Chain A
Amino acid sequence: MEKVKTLDDLKKLKEQLKSTIELREKSNNPESHVQVKVAMATCGIASGAREIMSFFMDELRKRNIDAIVSQTGCMGYCYAEPTIELTIPGHEPVVYGNVTKAKADEIIEKHIKNGILVDGIIPVTYQNINKK
């Protein structure tokens, strides 16, 4: 282990290490972060939800967007998998179906960055599954 010789060393080290517990820090107050929930039931996984989740995680980090990407159960839209639920702080959640990497990229660029809704929203009388 390299010695920490100065306070700046320590601060640098902290910056490097921050990401290891970032997820926990954010979970402490999820409401203040962009939340992407990826439906990861059998149906979702079969249609590539896992890659979509990784894509979101990697890309959001690359593009310096503070967000929580988490998985959730089947949302009931098996015909439209992979599905994601996107929550922007202060707004109602929105569900997108048939999310591909290209669609995901569009969601990040347009919806998350600029607040412009993108095609593919499943506009149903939707109940947040975490309401309980």
Chain B
Amino acid sequence: MMKYKMHVLVCGGTGCKSSDSDMIAHNLRTAIDQKGLTEEVQVVMSGCFGFCEKGPIVKILPDNTFYVHVTPSDTTEIVEEHLVKGRRVERLLYKDPQRDEIISDSKHMGFYKKQVRIALRNCGFIDPESINEAIARDAYQALGKVLKEMTPQQVAEEIKKSGLRGRGGAGFPTGLKWEIASKSPGPEKYVVCNADEGDPGAFMDRSILEGDPHSVLEAMAICGYCIGASNGLIYIRAEYPLAIERLKIAINQAREYGLLGKNIFGTDFSFDIELKYGAGAFVCGEETALIHSMEGQRGEPTFKPPFPAVAGYKMKPTNVNNVETYANIPVIIMNGAEWFASYGTEKSKGTKVFALAGKINNVGLIEVPMGTKLKDVIYDIGGGIKGNKKFKAVQIGGPSGGFLTEKHLETEIDYESLTAAGSMMGSGGMIVMDDSDCMVAMAKFYLDFTVEESCGKCSPCRIGNKRLNEILEKIAQGKGTIEDLELLRNLGNVIKDTSLCMLGGSSPNPVLSTLDHFYDEYLAHVKDHKCPAGQCKALMQYIILPENCVGCTACARNCPVNAITGERKKPHVIDQAICIKCGACVEKCKFNAVVVQ
């Protein structure tokens, strides 16, 4: 067996791959070969490191050097300097934006310090295309343990004791779900993995599947043993080609080892997994819609009960969990329920993965223990607000999560606290906004998404969300009235109260929570016809201050619609009827003469 002196991990997540990390790995290998170091240095394409803001990332071990924003042309330098001469390439090291210091070891970065990686334990650590590396990290031992040492009831009991709850959003206790499915009579049952991650900007599940597919396969087999199913199905959106590819490789490797298939570990238990592709509809994350889609029906939800645990795929008892939930299972079995339950709060145990995005310094994928304060995530892990602007709101839980404000920064992240604060855990989107974000516009942004993604089955969601969106548009145009605000509130509540599934049951949250926390901002739009954040174009005007204008004509020359007139060396004027508010004049003016009103 080859004994490498150094390992070079290159991020092979979708994000870094799209920034040419394949080429980086290729160039590294070539340069290493040229230096005759092939025997000494191993280049591994790993899963996502999470710090996507800084990608593509290359990590060098054993000295834990974390290179950021690496390009294919940096590879020669890395090889010659670092690998050959042992000198770090300073310019590629991470610089802390707040303290302005270089940190070479990722362990010391704020982004990683407060994280606890359980679901992401192998992401960015192993080669996801090698089952051997997964096995070296204990993969399939939990499966072996349950088959050898535990009864199905004990498995359900252990998961129940761990306090693990569904990471897809609803937070239903996983052990209980398994128990119900296990008690559902029937010789034919199914284990389904919901990999239809649809929240805009969220990529928790994708990263796990890309970085550590075996953890999910193993967990599904454990679930199969627990509920008495021998068929597993992974419903994954077709727009996740890399995750699909890695899953296929992983399933084949597991089959070759006999870790999937007939008589696993020489027992009576047989289990195999099949992939089902979705076309990428948000609503198919809802479990009944997901099942219909897998059956070849239109992807739309049906009324529960019956729950899938009783009548799911092909009307057979079916357990549906999402990717992140499954990823926690093997370690719970290996380390015990108590170990898992030692993380988190009273009712929310373990950790949660979030996709941190928006106006924040450290955009990326993070995993924190339940109970971590919102401010710790935003300021310590997230590195604070971009450009030192003021924090305004954070929206959690995907497109239908509510907005939380400064007064919620002390909130501990768990299912109950987030709901109590008017938001929700959701599947783990976390989008930070600063004071240049208009809350009306943001609410509308999310509504645009839900209007697009509603399946159209029930009237409140199909028509109601559209109407909400239209009223918001009216307000953004400065044509809203006080009555419209009341209409918004009533309509939002009725949609939540009457919709068939949780898509409509939560889609008005962005509107309702901004109405609650930023009513003044709405009032400014309808009463004063002003957008305080300066984002609603219809409510702002670009004007030229004559006292500052020197008549350089730069603005007029750059105006794409010729809205600016004026003689040379004399103050210019913007014709508001023509102006499209593109802002080009502001950028071109060197004299601060163009202002927004």
Asked if chains A and B are in direct contact (CB within 8 A), the reply is: yes
Residues of chain B with a CB closer than 8 A to A21's CB = 125-126, 133, 136-137
Q: Which of A49-85 contact B (CB under 8 A)?
A: 53-54, 57-58, 61, 68-74
Within the complex, the shortest CB–CB distance from A53 to chain B, in Å, comes to: 7
CB distance from B44 to the nearest CB of A (A): 9
Q: Are A41 and B62 closer than 8 Å at their CB atoms?
A: no
Which residues of chain A have C-beta atoms less than 8 A from B592's C-beta? none
B138:A14 contact, CB within 8 angstroms? yes
CB-contact partner of B5 in A17, A20, A69, under 8 A: A69
A43 smallest CB distance to B (angstroms): 10
Whether A86 sits at the interface, judged by CB under 8 Å, is no
Residue picked from A2, A18, A19, A21, most chain B C-beta under 10 Å: A21
In the complex, are the beta carbons of A6 and B266 less than 8 A apart? Answer: yes
Q: Which residues of B contact A20 (CB under 8 A)?
A: 1, 132-133, 136
A27 adjacent to chain B (CB < 8 Å): yes
Give the chain A neighbours of B138 by CB distance below 8 A. Answer: 14
Bits for A1-22, please: 1 = Cβ < 8 Å to B, else 0.
1111111001101101111110
**For residue A108, which residues in chain B have a CB less than 8 angstroms away from its CB?**
none
B570 within 8 A of A: no
A41 to B473, CA, bound (A): 64
A5 touches B133 (CB 8 A): no
Instruction: Report the minimum CB–CB distance from A115 to chain B (whole Å).
Output: 23
In the complex, are the beta carbons of A24 and B7 less than 8 A apart?
Answer: yes
A10:B1 contact, CB within 8 angstroms: no
B390 within 8 A of A: no
Instruction: Determine if B591 is an interface residue (Cβ-Cβ < 8 Å).
Output: no
Tally the A-B contacts, defined by beta carbons under 8 Å. Answer: 112
Bound Cα distance A75, B87 (Å): 10
> In the complex where A20-B136, A24-B7 touch, is A7 in contact with B85 (Cβ < 8 A)?
no
* Contact present for B257 and A17 (CB under 8 Å): no
* Residues of B close to A128: CB separation below 8 A: none
Given contacts A17-B132, A73-B87, A74-B85, contact A11 B125 (CB under 8 A): no
Interface residues of B in 232-287 (CB under 8 A from A): 253, 256-259, 265-266
| Interface flag for A26 (CB, 8 Å) | yes
The answer to whether the Cβ of B145 comes within 8 Å of any Cβ in the partner chain is yes
Q: Judge whether B133 and A17 touch: CB under 8 Å.
A: yes
CB of B524 closer than 8 Å to a CB of A: no
Does residue A30 face the partner (Cβ distance < 8 Å to B)? yes
B104 interface residue per 8 A CB criterion: yes
Do B86 and A130 touch (CB < 8 A)? no
Q: How far is the CB of A55 from chain B (nearest CB, A)?
A: 12
CB-nearest residue of chain B to A18: B136
The answer to whether the Cβ of B64 comes within 8 Å of any Cβ in the partner chain is yes
Q: By the criterion CB–CB under 8 Å, are B5 and A42 in contact?
A: no
Report yes or no: A70 in contact with B6, Cβ–Cβ below 8 A.
Answer: yes
- Known contacts A5-B265, A7-B148, A70 near B5 by CB under 8 Å: yes
Q: Mark B119-139, 1 if CB is under 8 A from A, else 0.
A: 000000110000011011110
Using CB atoms, name the residue of chain B closest to A33: B62
Q: Are A27 and B85 in contact (CB under 8 A)?
A: no
Report B-chain residues with C-beta under 8 Å of the C-beta of A58.
3
Residue of A nearest to B149 (CB): A7
Interface status of A23 (Cβ within 8 A of chain B): yes
* Cβ-defined contact, B85 with A23, below 8 A: no
Q: Is A99 an interface residue, CB under 8 A from the partner?
A: no
| Chain B stretch 272-311: residues in CB contact (< 8 A) with chain A | none
Q: In the bound complex, do residue A73 and residue B85 qualify as a contact, i.e. CB atoms below 8 Å apart?
A: yes
- Flag if A14 contacts B136 (CB, 8 Å): yes
- The answer to whether A27 and B86 touch across the interface, beta carbons within 8 angstroms, is no
- B126 engages A4 (CB within 8 Å): no
Contact B266 A27 (CB under 8 A): no
Cβ of B201 < 8 Å from any Cβ of A? no
Contact B259 A4 (CB under 8 A): yes
Q: How far is the CB of A83 from chain B (nearest CB, A)?
A: 11
CB proximity to A under 8 Å, residues B1-54: 1, 3-7, 9
Inter-chain contact A13/B135, CB cutoff 8 Å: yes
A24-B7, A57-B3 as given contacts; A70 in contact with B266, CB under 8 Å: no
Q: Tell me if A4 and B62 are in contact (CB < 8 A).
A: no
CB nearest neighbor in B for A38: B86
> B62 to nearest A CB, angstroms?
4
Contact partner, A19, options B1, B5, B9, Cβ 8 Å: B1
B64 in contact with A27 (CB, 8 Å) = yes
A3 vs B255: C-alpha distance in the bound complex, in angstroms? 9
Chain B residues within 8 Å of A, Cβ to Cβ: 1, 3-7, 9, 61-64, 84-88, 102, 104, 107, 125-126, 132-133, 135-138, 140-141, 144-145, 147-148, 253, 256-259, 265-266
Interface residues of A (CB under 8 A from B): 1-7, 10-11, 13-14, 16-21, 23-24, 26-28, 30, 39-42, 45, 53-54, 57-58, 61, 68-74, 130, 132
21 pairs of residues in contact across A and B, judged by CB atoms under 8 Å: A4-B259, A4-B265, A7-B145, A7-B148, A11-B141, A13-B135, A16-B1, A18-B136, A20-B133, A21-B136, A21-B137, A23-B6, A24-B61, A24-B125, A27-B64, A40-B85, A40-B86, A68-B62, A71-B5, A71-B86, A130-B63
> Lowest 8 CB-CB distances: which A-B pairs, in order?
A7-B144, A3-B258, A73-B87, A17-B136, A73-B86, A27-B62, A27-B61, A72-B86
Q: A1-B256, A57-B5 are in contact. List 4 more A-B contacts (CB 8 A).
A: A3-B258, A21-B133, A23-B4, A130-B63
